[in-house]
């Protein structure tokens, strides 16, 4: 039996240098680095192998640069952490030494080895050797590539007009870039506009926000698109095409916001801005400081249905004749270079916690309702009124962690509620000092600048802090007061307290419609549901997709200061791109060999970016490299090997498979992981030190769509016990939908395996997101039973897989 000939050497003078990094004890604590170096030196074409305590340090990089020059290295392999972390660092070092950066390859012996096999030192060392062998095998076949440069459009899109979106838009606009600020509500302002005071300085929230709002509304560089939805986002870093649906307000810009129309309007409904505590009319402005101040007609409430003007009271009342029921929705097409996602957060709905009686007892309110009640511009003109009798309560209880840090709601801490409650308690004390205030908490988290002082002040003012949440609240039928029962866990005694009003300190949670923005902008979400950053420490505002940045509560619950900080950071990050005016796009694209092409159009059908078009006259296809994003699914689909995927060529991947299966193949799992989700997921397993068996060898591809059936067959032909194909979840693919092809191919392979009488469990497909390290680890664990049950006959049988079609 012969395997397809693999090109093992194209030049006689291949000179590979291998650097094995200790990463302090992160790698060296588990892997015997000296052994790995000694092994690396024996590999073909390796002329130099060294170990280094920190290869990413300046000295480490200098060493590589020096060696490239002195030893005439023309390929460099670094065995250290994930290429997702330091590949750019080492590539740059290579470039500085005059070596094309695509002649660099990395072996991930930290996230994929030492950290996940902490207690299996020998097996981890063997795995590290294998990973180096695979990297060297690929390095031998690497080719220099040239990157193309694409211009960046000097315009930005900010999605969400809360304080984060406003700050980001203002910063970008002040820098001199045109900004489109898109907000789905009729006014910008977001949650901050609803809040009365801010902690810890007790500034009036709207007083400090309103000037920013009007700055954003007036700024010559900002185009405000309120009452608008994002319909579609296409394109890539520097060149996004965004479709925005601008819904009509039915009131023109000439509106002077006098309010005569609203007075005339005969219909009313609860005002969402005031959480239903006040009414509004069908023609309204959500709040006094709204930007734009132009009124808006709620057509769901208005008596005038489509095409029929039944009621013209507002039209008659408007002196400036600004009301126009013929306005139509508009779809705008925007070309922008960068996008900042600042979509904010929803608040937790406590009605599902039945024991607290929210919506059953009117005197149980939420902290956001409290903000509207205590606000001088709110429905009660700043009086904290008990909904049942419109009287100011003499005793109030706050309940912390409602919907946070609990299996019943969300598992995470919502970050702002402790300080918000302390601020609220002080506000009550300020207005009505005699009020008895009880705060029932789990832990008080006063971690920020000035927070502890505020907490101390609250204690000094006589606010009672009781550790232990009430287990139940019930209403006193006569007084409409509320009884709270629970355990004071510090004193170990049961309390039963009667108060006149209860305020539930509700947490924050991801927007219900987060999945829309996630899909449109190709973002990832953490298990909590908030958008995930590219790196939690070093790239906290970059989204994993190039040219997209995150700000505010969309990324995680945070207070106003942190939102503003993050927004300015995101604006700065976006400015860096736009100031450069151009961006180099990785040379990982596909290339057509027209001589081999038969014009079968298989590739045309699978390309998610429409980069391949058919030329029927010539019986060929045409591939536009500039439109190619580099998933490689065309190359995997082509039956005639007419498409070459740069940097992930068939030969390179075959070489990696062969290297992975060189020894003890019958005990190994060959895993193909896509760069964006599943490889990152495996990295996450490493960072989280999730332990799993050592017999898996991960091969990175940009997309799971690159995994051609022939790669899987090759692995089986080489005697691998099992193969794992892994990619982003369906719908989350970074190449739109290339992973649908992965699914189809794996299903075809399963059928083929069944036909050949092979155990199809030996080939597994799993979708792993970047946050699902646990899923990756448990899949490898789960596959162990398959691996241990594979007998030599089966291995022998599968070796023939490539022979029979």
Partner 1 sequence: MPVRTWRRPLDADKVKPPQAEVHIIKDRCKGCGYCIEFCPKDVLEESNEINKRGIHPPKVIDEERCALCGFCSAVCPDFAIYTTEKNCKEKKTTK
- Cβ 259 to partner 1 shortest distance, Å: 13
Q: Which two tokens stand for residue 353?
A: 């916690």
Give the β-pairing of 222-225 and 178-182: parallel
Give the β-pairing of 345-347 and 590-592: unpaired
CA angle 436/438/440 to nearest 5° reads 175
Between 190 and 632, name the residue whose CB sits nearer to partner 1.
190
- Cβ 742 to partner 1 shortest distance, Å: 36
Between 372 and 445, name the residue whose CB sits nearer to partner 1.
372
Question: How far apart are the C-alpha atoms of 202 and 680, rounded to whole Å?
Answer: 42
Query: Could you give phi then psi for residue 100, rounded to 5 degrees?
Result: -55, 135
- Cβ 221 to partner 1 shortest distance, Å: 28
Does residue 728 contact residue 702 with C-beta atoms inside 8 Å? Answer: no
The conformational region for residue 175 under phi > 0 = left, psi -120 to 50 = alpha, else beta, is alpha
Give the β-pairing of 620-623 and 612-615: antiparallel
Calculate the alpha carbon distances from 720 to 213, 480, 636, 711 in Å. Answer: 62, 72, 21, 12
Between 306 and 493, name the residue whose CB sits nearer to partner 1.
306
Nearest residue to 32 (alpha-carbon basis) of 122, 146, 101: 122
Between 379 and 547, name the residue whose CB sits nearer to partner 1.
379
Find the helix or strand (DSSP H, E) in which 569 lies. Answer: helix 560-580
Between 560 and 763, name the residue whose CB sits nearer to partner 1.
560
- Cβ 225 to partner 1 shortest distance, Å: 17
Between 313 and 561, name the residue whose CB sits nearer to partner 1.
313
- At residue 791, the 3 state secondary structure works out as coil
- Note the residues at the interface with partner 1 (CB under 8 A): 185, 266-268, 270-272, 274-279, 303-305, 308, 310-311, 313, 346, 349, 351, 359, 362, 379-380, 385, 387, 390, 512
> For the CA atoms of the chain, what is the radius of gyration?
31
Question: How far apart are the C-alpha atoms of 568 and 564, rounded to whole Å?
Answer: 6
- Cβ 352 to partner 1 shortest distance, Å: 11
Between 153 and 373, name the residue whose CB sits nearer to partner 1.
373
- Cβ 552 to partner 1 shortest distance, Å: 15
- Cβ 373 to partner 1 shortest distance, Å: 9
Q: HSE of 291 in the Cβ direction (CA atoms, 13 Å)?
A: 25
Between 144 and 276, name the residue whose CB sits nearer to partner 1.
276
- Cβ 311 to partner 1 shortest distance, Å: 4
Between 379 and 507, name the residue whose CB sits nearer to partner 1.
379
Between 241 and 313, name the residue whose CB sits nearer to partner 1.
313
Q: 587-614 burial, b for 16+ CB within 10 Å, e for fewer?
A: bbbbebeeeebebbbbbbebbbbebbeb
Between 276 and 581, name the residue whose CB sits nearer to partner 1.
276
- Cβ 289 to partner 1 shortest distance, Å: 17
Q: Provide CB contacts within 8 A for 382, sequence distance 6+.
A: 373, 374, 375, 376, 431
Between 22 and 386, name the residue whose CB sits nearer to partner 1.
386
Q: 28-49 burial, b for 16+ CB within 10 Å, e for fewer?
A: bebbbbebbbebbeebebbbbb
- At residue 718, the 3 state secondary structure works out as coil
User: Tokens 């030192």 correspond to what residue?
Assistant: 121
Q: Which two tokens stand for residue 771?
A: 């946050």
Does residue 213 contact residue 186 with C-beta atoms inside 8 Å? Answer: no
Question: How far apart are the C-alpha atoms of 449 and 467, rounded to whole Å?
Answer: 23
Q: Which two tokens stand for residue 473?
A: 């609240």
- Cβ 183 to partner 1 shortest distance, Å: 11
- Cβ 395 to partner 1 shortest distance, Å: 21
- Cβ 745 to partner 1 shortest distance, Å: 41
Distance of CA 647 to the CA centre of its chain: 26
Question: How far apart are the C-alpha atoms of 419 and 441, rounded to whole Å?
Answer: 12
Nearest residue to 18 (alpha-carbon basis) of 45, 42, 39, 40: 40
Number of Cβ atoms within 10 Å of the Cβ of 792:
9
- Cβ 529 to partner 1 shortest distance, Å: 15
Between 95 and 515, name the residue whose CB sits nearer to partner 1.
515
Between 66 and 408, name the residue whose CB sits nearer to partner 1.
408
- Cβ 303 to partner 1 shortest distance, Å: 4
- At residue 669, the 3 state secondary structure works out as strand
DSSP lists the bridge partners of residue 225 as 182
């Amino acid at each position: 039996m012969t395997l397809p000939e693999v090109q093992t050497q194209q030049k006689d003078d291949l000179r590979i240098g291998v650097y094995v990094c200790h990463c302090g004890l992160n790698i060296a604590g588990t892997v015997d680095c000296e052994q790995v170096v000694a092994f690396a030196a024996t590999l073909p074409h390796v002329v130099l192998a060294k170990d280094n305590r920190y290869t990413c340090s300046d000295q480490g990089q200098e060493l590589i640069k020096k060696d490239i020059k002195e030893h005439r290295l023309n390929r460099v392999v670094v065995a250290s952490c994930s290429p997702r972390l330091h590949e750019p660092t080492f590539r740059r070092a290579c470039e500085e030494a005059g070596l094309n950066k695509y002649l660099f390859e990395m072996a991930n012996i930290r996230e994929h080895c030492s950290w996940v096999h902490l207690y299996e030192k020998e097996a981890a060392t063997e795995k590290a050797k294998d990973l180096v062998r695979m990297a060297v095998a690929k390095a031998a076949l690497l080719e220099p590539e040239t990157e193309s440069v694409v211009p960046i459009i000097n315009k930005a899109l900010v999605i969400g007009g809360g304080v984060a979106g406003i700050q980001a838009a203002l910063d970008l606009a002040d820098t001199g870039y045109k900004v489109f600020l898109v907000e789905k509500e009729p006014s910008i302002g977001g949650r901050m506009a609803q809040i009365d005071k801010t902690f810890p300085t007790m500034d009036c929230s709207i007083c400090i926000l309103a000037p920013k709002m009007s700055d954003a509304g007036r700024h010559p560089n900002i185009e405000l698109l309120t009452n608008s939805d994002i319909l579609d986002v296409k394109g890539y870093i520097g060149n996004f095409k965004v479709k925005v649906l601008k819904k009509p307000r039915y009131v023109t810009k000439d509106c002077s916001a006098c309010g005569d129309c609203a007075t005339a309007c005969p219909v009313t409904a609860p005002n969402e801005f005031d959480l239903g505590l006040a009414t509004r009319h069908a023609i309204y402005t959500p709040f006094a400081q709204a930007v734009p101040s132009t009124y808006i007609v709620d057509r769901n409430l208005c008596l005038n249905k489509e095409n029929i003007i039944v009621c013209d009271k507002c039209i008659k009342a408007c002196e400036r004749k600004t009301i126009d029921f013929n306005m139509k929705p508009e779809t705008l097409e925007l070309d922008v270079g960068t996008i900042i996602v600042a979509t904010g957060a929803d608040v937790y709905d406590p009605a599902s916690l039945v024991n607290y009686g929210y919506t059953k007892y009117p005197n149980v309110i939420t902290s956001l309702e409290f903000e509207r009640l205590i606000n001088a511009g709110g429905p009660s003109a700043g009086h904290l009124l008990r909904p049942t009798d419109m009287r100011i309560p003499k005793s109030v209880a706050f309940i912390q962690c409602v919907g946070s840090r609990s299996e019943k709601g969300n598992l995470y801490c919502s970050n702002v509620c402790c300080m918000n409650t302390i601020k609220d308690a002080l506000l009550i004390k300020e207005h009505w000092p005699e009020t008895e205030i009880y705060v029932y908490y789990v832990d008080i988290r006063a971690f920020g600048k000035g927070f502890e002082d505020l907490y101390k002040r609250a204690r000094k003012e006589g606010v009672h802090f009781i550790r232990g949440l009430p287990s139940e609240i019930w209403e006193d039928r006569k007084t409409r007061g509320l009884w709270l029962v629970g355990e004071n866990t510090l004193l170990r005694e049961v309390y039963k307290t009667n108060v006149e009003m209860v305020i539930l300190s509700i947490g924050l949670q991801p927007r219900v419609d987060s999945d829309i923005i996630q899909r449109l902008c190709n973002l990832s979400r953490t298990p909590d549901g908030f958008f995930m950053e590219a790196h939690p420490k070093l790239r906290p505002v970059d989204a994993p997709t190039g040219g997209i940045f995150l700000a505010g509560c969309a990324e995680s619950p945070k207070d106003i200061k942190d939102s503003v900080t993050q927004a300015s950071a995101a604006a700065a990050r976006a400015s860096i791109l736009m100031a450069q005016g151009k961006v180099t796009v990785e040379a990982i694209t596909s290339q057509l060999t027209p001589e081999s092409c038969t014009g079968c159009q298989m590739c045309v059908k699978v390309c998610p970016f429409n980069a391949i078009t058919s030329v029927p006259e010539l019986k060929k296809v045409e591939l536009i490299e500039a439109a190619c994003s580099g998933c490689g699914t065309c190359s995997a689909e082509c039956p005639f090997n007419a498409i070459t995927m740069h940097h992930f060529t068939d030969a390179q991947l075959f070489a990696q498979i062969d290297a992975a299966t060189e020894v003890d193949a019958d005990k190994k799992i060959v895993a193909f992981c896509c760069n964006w989700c599943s490889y990152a997921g495996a990295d996450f397993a490493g960072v989280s030190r999730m332990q799993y068996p050592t017999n898996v060898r991960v091969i990175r591809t940009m997309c799971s769509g690159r995994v051609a059936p022939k790669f899987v067959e090759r692995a089986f032909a080489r005697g691998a016990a099992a193969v794992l194909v892994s990619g982003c979840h369906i719908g989350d693919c970074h190449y739109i939908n290339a992973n649908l092809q992965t699914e189809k191919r794996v299903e075809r392979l399963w059928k083929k395996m069944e036909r050949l009488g092979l155990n199809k469990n030996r080939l597994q497909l799993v979708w792993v997101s970047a946050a699902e390290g646990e899923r990756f680890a448990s899949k490898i664990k789960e596959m162990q039973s398959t691996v241990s049950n594979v007998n030599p006959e089966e291995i022998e049988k599968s070796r023939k897989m490539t022979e029979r079609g």
